[in-house]
C-alpha cells in the first residue's frame, strides 16, 4: 500500500491546500494530512486541534485521507508511520528554495524518504493562509479563498480577533 504525508500549518486551511490534498489523494492509496507545529510561525490564529477538526470536515468525502498532528521532526513522523513520501505544494518559485532545503534536510535525516512537489493550480498560486488572514481581518470577502465547510468559523475567528 502506498502512503504519503502532506504536512503544513494550515492556519487556516485554504482552497489551495484542498486542491493539493485532492490531487495527492489520487496518487496514493492513503494520504495523511499532518498539522505540523511551525516554529517560524509561533502562536497561530487557530489551535492545532481546531485546524485538525477543520481539515477533517473538509476531507470527510475523501475516504483515503486522514488527518493527524506532528509534534516533532517530520522525518521521524514519516518513518514511524510507515510512509516514505512527503507531498509539498508549490505556488511559485519563491516557495521552491525553502521547500527544497527542507526536502534535502529530511532526506539526510531519513534517506528512504522522498519529497514529491505538486504545482499549485493556477487559480491558487497567489493564495496563502497569511493572505486569508490579512484580507479577512480587513473585512474582505474570502469566500473564494477558503472551503465552504469552514468559511464561517474562519471569518468569525479572524474578524473577532482583529
Q: How far apart are the first and last CA of the chain?
A: 45
The answer to whether residue 17 is catalytic is yes
Q: Of residues 37, 41, 80, 161, which has the active-site annotation? A: 41
Supply 30's cell numbers.
492513503
Q: Of residues 22, 23, 30, 91, which has the active-site annotation? A: 91
The answer to whether residue 91 is catalytic is yes
Q: Of residues 15, 17, 51, 133, which has the active-site annotation? A: 17
Exposure string of 19-55, with b = 16+ CB inside 10 Å and e = fewer, is: bbbebbbeebebbbbbbbeeeeeeebbbebebbbebb
Q: Of residues 15, 88, 129, 133, which has the active-site annotation? A: 129
Supply 143's cell numbers.
469566500
Cβ contact 41:9 at 8 Å: yes
Q: Round to whole Å and give the CA distance between 8 and 37.
A: 8
The answer to whether residue 37 is catalytic is no
Closest CA to 131 of 142, 122, 120: 142
Cβ contact 10:132 at 8 Å: no
Active site residues: 17, 41, 91, 129
Amino acid at each position: 500500500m502506498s502512503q504519503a504525508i502532506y504536512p503544513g500549518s494550515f492556519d487556516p486551511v485554504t482552497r489551495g491546500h484542498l486542491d493539493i490534498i485532492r490531487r495527492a489523494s489520487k496518487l496514493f492509496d492513503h494520504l495523511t494530512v499532518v498539522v505540523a507545529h511551525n516554529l517560524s510561525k509561533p502562536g497561530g490564529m487557530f489551535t492545532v486541534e481546531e485546524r485538525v477538526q477543520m481539515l477533517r470536515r473538509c476531507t470527510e468525502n475523501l475516504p483515503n485521507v486522514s488527518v493527524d498532528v506532528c509534534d516533532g521532526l517530520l522525518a521521524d513522523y514519516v518513518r514511524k508511520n510507515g510512509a516514505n513520501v512527503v507531498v509539498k505544494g508549490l505556488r511559485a518559485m519563491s516557495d521552491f528554495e525553502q521547500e527544497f532545503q527542507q526536502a534535502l534536510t529530511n532526506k539526510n535525516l531519513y534517506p528512504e524518504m522522498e519529497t514529491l512537489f505538486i504545482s499549485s493550480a493556477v487559480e491558487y498560486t497567489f493564495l496563502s493562509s497569511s493572505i486569508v488572514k490579512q484580507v479577512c481581518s480587513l473585512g474582505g470577502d474570502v469566500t473564494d479563498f477558503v472551503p465552504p465547510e469552514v468559511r464561517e468559523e474562519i471569518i468569525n475567528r479572524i474578524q473577532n480577533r482583529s
